[in-house]
């Protein structure tokens, strides 16, 4: 199907882009989700604001205690940079196929806020902070407040997610991501997936963040799991017991790829795997 008619602008600067944004506009980065949804007429923007020609948004920068991933950094670069914590890098490496990873952007995957996307879970577990810019200034939004509902983020219509900040992994910290992809493989949207970040000191878990995707109405933190992990030694038994709390506060959604019962089961399986792998990655 063809999309409805729309205007297209390709600004050369952020200021020009802000000037083109309005109530019926959509930002386009890689177009890997926007274009299919426009063709299905699920999105019918009046204006597409293509940010692909704006300079300075395509780098991963080291800021000492954190890195920042610019709005035009592709999944493939996030996956391979070596500077990105494992949970997010792995999520990027498992996003779609080679073509999608070479076109789609990490910030686009976050802004798109698909219920079954990979990188939102990685960003949540890594404690990411979204940097949203508009003509009126800059807002920093913690990942835990960014994913609002299915395909709905905390971004306003006039804002561009110009970068995402990720704390650098410190001593005693490890992270991981794993999922079951829809067609049985791993490079496809998640039937269910989980990302985990853990910090261990003196033999016990001092802090943890665990996030789910594909299971509920949005990618979200599983705070109960993190709470149950803290203070334990991170043994298999402790991790498995903590994973029993994976669905606290989660409304499990049945879809074409799994019943509520199956997804609930998978959530615990992938939380267990992600936490064990994060501990192994310290
Ligand atoms: C065949 C195929 C397989 C895929 N498989 C997977 C998969 O396995 N896992 C997965 O997670 N995803 C998958 N995707 C989606 C893919 O990862 C997209 O690249 C990603 O969701 C969006 O990134 P993009 O840069 O292409 O964004 P676009 O398609 O350009 O935009 C997507 C949405 O985000 C908004 N947006 C984009 N960038 C910004 C920004 N900087 N600021 C504000 N708003 C912005 C747009 O307005 C739009 O609403 C797949 C896509 C395809 C086509």
Domain boundaries, the chain: 7-51, 60-167, 173-280
Q: Which of 26, 100, 177 to mutate to test the pocket of ligand 1 (most atoms within 8 A of CB)?
A: 100
pLDDT in tens, 217-260: 999 999 999 999 999 999 999 999 999 999 999 999 999 999 99
- What is the pLDDT at residue 277? 98
Residue 82: the pLDDT is 95
CA of 188 from ligand 1 middle (Å) equals 13
Whole-number pLDDT of residue 267 = 98
How much is the pLDDT for 48? 98
Residues in the chain, pLDDT under 70: none
pLDDT, residue 237, reads 98
Would you state the pLDDT for residue 246? Answer: 98
Cα-to-centroid distance, 36 and ligand 1 (Å): 10
Residue 186, pLDDT score: 73
What distance in angstroms lies between residue 26's CA and the mean position of ligand 1's atoms? 12
pLDDT at 61: 98
pLDDT of 30:
98
Q: What pLDDT, on the 0 to 100 scale, is given for residue 89?
A: 98
pLDDT value at residue 1: 83
Nearest to residue 115, comparing CAs of 193, 172, 49, 40? 193
Distance 131 CA to ligand 1 centre (A): 17
Predicted local confidence at residue 183, as pLDDT: 82
CA 52 to ligand 1 center in whole angstroms: 13
Q: Whose CA is nearest to atom 31 of ligand 1?
A: 34
Domain 60-167 sits in CATH at 3.30.465.10
CATH of 7-51, one of 3.40.50.300, 3.30.43.10, 3.40.640.10, 3.40.718.10: 3.30.43.10
- 79: Cβ below 6 Å to ligand 1? no
CATH topology of domain 173-280: Enolase-like; domain 1 (3.30.390)
Report the percent of the chain where pLDDT is more than 70.
100
- pLDDT score, position 5: 96
């Amino acid at each position: 199907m063809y999309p409805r008619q729309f205007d297209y602008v390709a600004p050369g600067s952020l200021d020009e882009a802000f000037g083109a944004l309005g109530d019926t506009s959509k930002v386009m980065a890689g177009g890997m989700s926007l274009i299919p949804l426009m063709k299905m007429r699920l999105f019918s923007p009046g204006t597409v604001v293509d940010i692909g020609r704006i300079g300075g948004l395509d780098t991963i920068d080291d800021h000492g205690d954190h890195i920042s991933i610019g709005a035009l950094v592709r999944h493939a670069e996030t996956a391979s940079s070596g500077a990105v914590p494992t949970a997010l890098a792995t999520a990027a490496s498992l996003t779609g196929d080679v073509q999608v990873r070479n076109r789609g952007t990490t910030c686009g995957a976050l802004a798109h806020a698909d219920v079954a996307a990979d990188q939102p879970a990685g960003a949540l577990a890594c404690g990411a902070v979204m940097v949203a810019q508009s003509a009126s200034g800059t807002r920093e939004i913690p990942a835990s407040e960014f994913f609002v509902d299915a395909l709905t983020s905390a971004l306003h219509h006039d804002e561009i997610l110009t970068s995402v900040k990720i704390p650098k992994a410190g001593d005693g910290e490890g992270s991981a991501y794993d999922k079951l992809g829809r067609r049985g493989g791993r490079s496809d949207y998640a039937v269910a997936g989980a990302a985990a970040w853990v910090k261990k000191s003196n033999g016990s878990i001092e802090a943890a963040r665990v996030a789910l995707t594909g299971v509920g109405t949005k990618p979200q933190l599983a705070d109960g799991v993190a709470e149950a992990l803290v203070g334990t030694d991170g043994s298999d038994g402790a991790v498995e017991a903590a994973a029993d709390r994976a669905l606290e506060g989660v409304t499990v959604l049945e879809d074409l790829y799994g019943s509520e019962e199956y997804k609930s089961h998978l959530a615990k399986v992938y939380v267990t795997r992600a936490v064990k792998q994060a501990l192994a990655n310290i």
